[in-house]
Structure 1
Amino acid sequence: MARRLSYSARYTHPAEKLYQAHSIKQYWDDMMAGFQMISPHCEVASFTSDENGVKVVLRQTIGRDQLPPLAQTVMMKDMVITREETLGPFDPDHTKGTYNASIPAGPGSLNGWQELIPTDDGCTIRRTSEAKVFVPFVNGKLEQMILINLVDLFRAEAEYAKDWIDKNL
């Protein structure tokens, strides 16, 4: 059975400014450069921003020795994560998008949807993630670990977005 978790990042910037940042390739390139402190192999594999919205594919390699012990029992090699994230065309009331992550020969899936919503004092991105692991006995623990680590990632990305917008927009 899959596990779900929602996380909301609140911003003092208006929704259109956050969307604008996501629509600029340099935003993603700079984010991947920051990830290289943790994992030396990070890249923007593809990026599109047009009237249909934003679509970015990120690829990151995490060394097996950097994985938590529980994950090392399942992953016998370095973990290569491909993450695809989309936001539809900007809607000042409610912009919708999706994201997913895949790992070659990985024992599960991670999918989610995101919503960019204006608030009285800025905006919020609400992300709802669903993790499913197909390994008996440890599936629930791995799903929970994935979701907790994902929240940590989303928190770090929210701080990055705030800083990037302040410096660049």
Structure 2
Amino acid sequence: MATKLRHTITFPFGMAAYVAAVSDTEYWKALSVGSPEAPGELESTDITDTGAEVHLIQRIPGDKLPPAVTALVSGDLAVKRSVIMAFLADDHTTGSFDADVTGTPATTKGTIDATGADECTVVFTGSVNVRIPLVGGKIEKMIAENLVGLFDAERDFTIAWHDEHS
């Protein structure tokens, strides 16, 4: 049974600034680099006036993984992420996200709904599924907690990006 995920973030700027960031390939390149603890790379972007499709890989070094995960997999984890967004109106953007952890039975998928002309609010709704009997639910909860942290970190990155590039 999948673990449900719902998280809301808010930006101190409107939809136009949010779309300007997420429709910039340089934004995604900088975001995907990550940190030494979780380095990443941008696989591809397809950005138009009406939307964006982004694919990136983030790596988590094996020595940074919790024991519940290292008991099941050895070495580093590669997380393949996709984000697809449609820029619907001046105050509304919608889309989807998914992530697969290579070599594991763990998947995450959900929707993105962004609204607000003056202050942008983004709601992530989805689920985490780990198909391992007995311990899958525990790992799902850990992944869901880490996703909330990721969404918050990406909000902070986006605010800093906006401040630097506007």
Task: Identify the TM-score tier after normalising by the shorter chain.
Answer: over 0.9
C-alpha displacement at 1:67, in angstroms? 0.6
Aligned match of 2:64 in 63, 66, 74? 66
Aligned match of 2:161 in 127, 148, 164? 164
Whole-angstrom distance in 2 between the partners of 1:9 and 1:55: 21
More displaced 10-residue stretch of structure 1: 49-58 or 157-166: 49-58
**1:2-151, aligned counterparts within 5 Å?**
2-33=2-33, 35-40=34-39, 42-118=40-116, 121-151=118-148
Structure 1 runs, 4 residues or longer, greater than 3 Å off = none
Taking structure 1 as the reference length, what is the TM-score of the superposition?
A: 0.92
Taking only the aligned residue pairs, the percentage that are identical comes to 30
Whole-angstrom distance in 2 between the partners of 1:82 and 1:45: 9
**Cα deviations by residue, 1:76-113 (Å, 9 ceiling, x for unpaired):** 23111110001113422421100000122212211011
Taking structure 2 as the reference length, what is the TM-score of the superposition?
A: 0.94
C-alpha displacement at 1:52, in angstroms? 4.1
Q: Given that residues 129 and 147 in structure 1 are in contact (C-alpha distance below 8 angstroms), is that contact kept between their aligned partners in structure 2?
A: no
Secondary structure of 2:89 counterpart? coil
Alpha carbon RMSD of aligned pairs, Å?
1.4
Unaligned runs of 5+ in 1: none
- Equivalent pairs, count: 166
Whole-angstrom distance in 2 between the partners of 1:95 and 1:72: 38
